[in-house]
Amino acid sequence: MIEIIQHLLLSNNCVILPGLGAFVGNYNHAEIQLQQHQIVPPSKNIAFNRSLQNNDGLLMNEVAVQQHVSLNQAEELIHAFVHQVNTSLQQNKSFVFKEIGRLFLDEKEQIRFQPYYSKNFLMDSYGLPTLSIAPIQRLKTDTSIIQQSYQRTLSNLGENTTSSKSNKKTFIVATTIAATILLLIGTTFFLNQYSIKPFQSESSLIPVFDSAPKSVTVQNKIEVINPNSTINQTKDTFVANATVPKITVSESSSLIVIGTFFDSTLANKLKTETEKKGYAVFIYKDNQNGLFRTTVQVKTSDVATQLNTIKTELNQRAWIYCVQCNL
């Protein structure tokens, strides 16, 4: 189970263990550590969030694929593992997740997390080592030459100060005159531009945004978006004008998620591009989170092989949404 969690952390920023908590990955920039004389590449720091315990299906689907079991059996395996962790915390006050970190109980019997830094879970930094650096050791002759050059530079600056002051004054006066001319030209152009359209009101120059929330009526927890239904798009919100029909997927088919969006336009765009490659694509709307999941329908008997193919051709982060779906 720990190896599966490690694998998921490489491609996901959040892995939830239902009933225990979630491992969350946070991006950490590359940094220069002068005291340690090294340059550290970008990494993903792992933290633990006790409040995230709702099952999002990510770990369950991965366990089902890796262990070749059903979703119900995968859920039972996860519950057994979580029970093992809680038992170890009560008896031994700690539990170690290899290369991830250690959970332990503090004096107030609260679960704390100590991350390990032996493994970098950021895929973008794969293969980048920590570079060692050393300060430059200068010779005494080099130091004296640098000091003499610095003194000559200061003396030259002192000689040129008088002449540069007059040049600065001339430059400032010329710049002020040019700026004034440009300001007058810009003002004249602006007045002429809006005098041509006397019917345009001044209030139209200031955009007014409607901050009232837009309501979206939904009937089912999960819906399939019909691309033929009319949708009014705005910059940040959308309102569905037609009831979205529910499409039933046969029990012998499974769904693999290739993209998750807050904007239905992006989901439909990915659907169109994927259908051109010969896949059967559906879009499901999760009303609880407001997400649009673009999924590919495959045969349940060949779901593992199809998942590898889809990761290669479409999205390496694709994951199984459901097995033997009957939504």
Per residue, the 3-state secondary structure of the chain, as one string, reads CHHHHHHHHHHCCEEEECCCEEEEEEEECCEEECCCCEEECCEEEEEEECCCCCCCCHHHHHHHHHHCCCHHHHHHHHHHHHHHHHHHHHHHCEEEECCCEEEEECCCCCEEEEECCCCCCCHHHCCCCCEECCCCCCCHHHHHHHHHHHHHHHHHHHHHHHHHHHHHHHHHHHHHHHHHHHHHHHHHHHHHHHHCCCCCCHHHHCCCCCCCCCCCCCCCCEEECCCCCCEEECCCCEEECCCCCCCCCCCCEEEEEEEEECCHHHHHHHHHHHHCCCCEEEEEEECCCCEEEEEEEEEHHHHHHHHHHHHHHCCCCCEEEECCCCC
Residue 116 predicted with pLDDT over 50: yes
Q: Looking at this protein, which amino acid is placed at residue 31?
A: E
Q: Is residue 164 part of a domain?
A: no
**How many separate domains does the chain show?**
2
Reported pTM: 0.39
Residue 151 domain flag: no
The domain boundary, picked from 76, 104, 132, lies at: 132
Residues 11 and 125 in one domain: yes
d(CA 255, CA 325): 7
Among 18-22, 83-87, 229-233, where is mean pLDDT lowest? 229-233
- Higher-pLDDT residue of 215, 123: 123
Lowest-confidence pick of 148-152, 163-167, 212-216: 212-216
Asked if residues 39 and 131 have their Cβ atoms less than 8 Å apart, the reply is yes
For residues 237 and 123, state if they share a domain.
no
* In-domain check, residue 155: no
Q: Residue 6 domain-assigned?
A: yes
CATH number at residue 235: 3.30.70.1070
Q: Which domain holds residue 120?
A: 2-132
Summarised one tens digit per residue, pLDDT across range 204-250 is 333 333 333 333 333 333 444 444 443 333 333 333 333 333 445 55
Is residue 9 within 8 Å of residue 22, measured between CB atoms?
no
- Single residue among 115, 132, 149 that ends a domain in this structure: 132
Domain presence at residue 81: yes
Other beta carbons within 10 angstroms of residue 240's beta carbon come to 18
Residue 207 forms part of a structural domain? no
**In the listed set 132, 151, 169, which residue is the last one of a domain according to the structure?**
132
Residue-level pLDDT at 244: 39
Q: How far apart are CA 311 and CA 37, in angstroms?
A: 40
Whether 198 maps to a domain, the answer reads: no
Residue 146 lies in a domain: no
